Chains A and B, each alone.
Chain A
């Protein structure tokens, strides 16, 4: 039977640990949660699996493949994003090579000396790791792990040890918390700080930073920019954080003020009160042996 649950109760990090420790082979699928209207055993809203959001494959406890299904995971996009293909090269390839698989395309690109085999492996590895780091920040969504299921043979597999990914993911979760404090609403928009001309003088921005800068306009929400640029939440927040720290861009909060909802304070439970261990009188051995005999005879 597949392993099923919700990452709200058993996090992506815990799942990665489980796969790593049990040296599992199979496919993890995370779904959009659809409320069923029922409550689960912990009185939380019960979620049924909806649309697939992400798929991650493992081979004997090692990570081999990951994809966010609402994003373009094609090799062309991944290479373009990593700066190995220009926007123009990517556009041409998307037009001319739309019918061939990533694996076949990789062979052609290597043959035509656009990229090396190592370039492809490095880029796919980083792409796969980035997806996992993002999945580790997810806090809700039904999942299922199907033993022995593998992605299609057309995809380019990688082979990544999970230990380091789990450690690095943990570090990034801490970073994400800081970024979330900085931008707590993706419906906020952006505007340039005063005197942008002066401020941009002598500043060197990366390609992705320039891309974000080109969309700075109070009419564009961060969410919209993220979608247009095919960026993850972490990526855009990280870029905006550095642009803001450099004094180039300001965050504009959305106008509508949402009524604040005060989180319920959980009542102190016995577990939180940390009870004191009491010394127990050890039972006599003959009592235990009598109980064993009795149970055996039942």
Chain B
């Protein structure tokens, strides 16, 4: 049986675990840990991913897609390179309502591009949030080239997640055909 891997990365609390949870056919194998109450992160979310999240989509008896979510915090960045090994492509999640994370998102994107020259897309997550920046503004903020796909996303909605994965696959296909 052949397995292929895609990586979902992005800053802390950008919605990576939720993204995988929305589409995975198995309960996401998550390595989330509670955040101690006296840290700043505790005000953002209750738990954080420390090693990786893991989801699966079975195509048929011969093919399985694995989704790996990276830990968002820099202190776990030693895991990124391990997760990036052999990936088909990657998705950079950005919390559209938290401009303080845009610089970090750009830095993570550059890091993953340096790991492997694989195709990628950027998901402008939390587009349902009242303070979300729209994708056009986000493209300028992240200084993305016009050919890079920046997709509106709501990670808790399965259709939205499916659309992002499809767009990544189309990008992979386009690059193969070039």
Query: In the complex the two chains form, what is the Cα distance from A283 to B110 in whole Å?
Result: 22
Instruction: Write out, one digit per residue, whether chain A residues 32-54 have a CB within 8 A of any chain B CB (1) or not (0).
Output: 00000011111110100000000
Q: How close is B150's CB to chain A, nearest CB, in angstroms?
A: 14
Q: What does DSSP make chain B's interface, helix, strand, loop or mixed?
A: helix
Query: In the complex the two chains form, what is the Cα distance from A76 to B93 in whole Å?
Result: 51
Query: In the complex the two chains form, what is the Cα distance from A283 to B99 in whole Å?
Result: 35
| Pair B78/A270 contact, Cβ less than 8 Å | yes
Within 8 A of B (CB), among A1-52: 1, 3-6, 8-10, 14, 17-18, 21-22, 38-44, 46
User: Is B88's CB within 8 Å of the partner chain A?
Assistant: yes
If A6-B100, A41-B101 touch, whether A280 touches B114 (CB-CB below 8 Å) is no
| Pair A287/B63 contact, Cβ less than 8 Å | yes
User: Is B30's CB within 8 Å of the partner chain A?
Assistant: no
User: Is A181's CB within 8 Å of the partner chain B?
Assistant: no
User: Is B68's CB within 8 Å of the partner chain A?
Assistant: no
Query: In the complex the two chains form, what is the Cα distance from A255 to B25 in whole Å?
Result: 68
Residues on B with C-beta less than 8 A from A261 are none
| Pair B169/A288 contact, Cβ less than 8 Å | yes
| Pair B4/A283 contact, Cβ less than 8 Å | yes
| Pair A291/B85 contact, Cβ less than 8 Å | no
Q: How close is B124's CB to chain A, nearest CB, in angstroms?
A: 14
Which residue from A1, A4, A38, A271 sits with its C-beta under 8 Å from B110?
A271
| Pair A3/B4 contact, Cβ less than 8 Å | no
Residues on B with C-beta less than 8 A from A41 are 11-13, 44, 95, 98, 100-101
Query: Who on chain B is nearest to A42 by CB?
Result: B100
Residues on B with C-beta less than 8 A from A22 are 136-137, 140
Instruction: Write out, one digit per residue, whether chain B residues 65-94 have a CB within 8 A of any chain A CB (1) or not (0).
Output: 100000000110110110001111000000
Could you say which interface size class chain A belongs to? 35 or more
If A9-B102, A288-B169 touch, whether A271 touches B107 (CB-CB below 8 Å) is yes
Residues on A with C-beta less than 8 A from B149 are none
User: Is A201's CB within 8 Å of the partner chain B?
Assistant: no
Residues on A with C-beta less than 8 A from B88 are 283, 288
Query: Who on chain A is nearest to B108 by CB?
Result: A271
Which residue from B104, B113, B173 sits with its C-beta under 8 Å from A292?
B173
| Pair A288/B95 contact, Cβ less than 8 Å | no
Residues on B with C-beta less than 8 A from A298 are 23, 57, 158, 162
User: Is B166's CB within 8 Å of the partner chain A?
Assistant: yes
User: Is A269's CB within 8 Å of the partner chain B?
Assistant: yes
User: Is A282's CB within 8 Å of the partner chain B?
Assistant: yes
Residues on A with C-beta less than 8 A from B158 are 298
Q: Chain A CB within 10 Å — which of B65, B100, B104, B162 has the most?
A: B100
If A1-B131, A288-B172 touch, whether A275 touches B81 (CB-CB below 8 Å) is yes
Instruction: Write out, one digit per residue, whether chain B residues 38-69 have a CB within 8 A of any chain A CB (1) or not (0).
Output: 01110110000000000001011001010000
User: Is B31's CB within 8 Å of the partner chain A?
Assistant: no
| Pair B86/A285 contact, Cβ less than 8 Å | no
| Pair B111/A275 contact, Cβ less than 8 Å | yes
Given contact pairs A39-B44, A40-B98, A42-B11, enumerate 19 new A-B contacts (beta carbons under 8 Å).
A1-B132, A6-B99, A18-B140, A22-B136, A22-B137, A41-B95, A44-B100, A271-B77, A271-B110, A275-B114, A277-B114, A277-B115, A283-B172, A288-B169, A288-B173, A288-B176, A291-B169, A296-B166, A298-B23
- Using CB atoms and an 8 Å cutoff, list the residues of chain B in contact with chain A: 2, 4, 11-13, 23, 39-41, 43-44, 57, 59-60, 63, 65, 74-75, 77-78, 80-81, 85-88, 95, 98-104, 107-108, 110-111, 113-118, 130-133, 136-137, 140-141, 158, 162, 165-166, 169-170, 172-173, 176
The 7 residue pairs across chains A and B that have the minimum distance between CB atoms = A39-B40, A5-B99, A9-B100, A270-B77, A43-B40, A294-B59, A271-B111
12 pairs, A vs B, C-beta closer than 8 Å: A6-B99, A17-B140, A18-B140, A275-B114, A275-B115, A277-B115, A287-B4, A289-B173, A291-B59, A295-B166, A295-B169, A296-B166
